[in-house]
Amino acid sequence: MRYSTSLKNNYEFRRLYTKGRSAASQYAVVYCRKNKGSMNKLGLTVSTKIGKAVQRNRIRRRFKEIYRLNEDKLIPGFDIVIVARTKSRFATYHALEADLLSLMGRLGLRAAEK
């Protein structure tokens, strides 16, 4: 994640949940809010409802990799939280990628294609 840092504090997540914009799909919910910096901050949440630690970490790694490979296509200066839904456990990598990119587009986070 060249152009991004991580959201770590509980109050940062809460601020996004209450004051941020959101878009939902069958595999994830994405919350975003403009920040004062020039970098994106990414937070990932995977509930224990999804499965044991191995499955949760697999989903977390997939979303992180999808974000890393596509972060140059995103507009900088946003706090972003991705909340994985239960169905994401059974989804393929490509289905998760298409889903996440469409959510980013709906929220206006994707830069215009050149």
pLDDT, tens only, 8-46: 999 999 999 999 999 999 999 999 999 988 899 999 999
pLDDT at site 114: 54
pLDDT at site 41: 94
Gap between the Cα atoms of 114 and 51, Å rounded: 40
pLDDT, tens only, 46-97: 999 999 999 999 999 999 999 999 989 999 999 999 999 999 999 999 999 9
| Residue linked to tokens 């059974």 | 90
pLDDT at site 1: 61
Structural domains of the chain, ranges and CATH numbers in brackets: 4-106 (3.30.230.10)
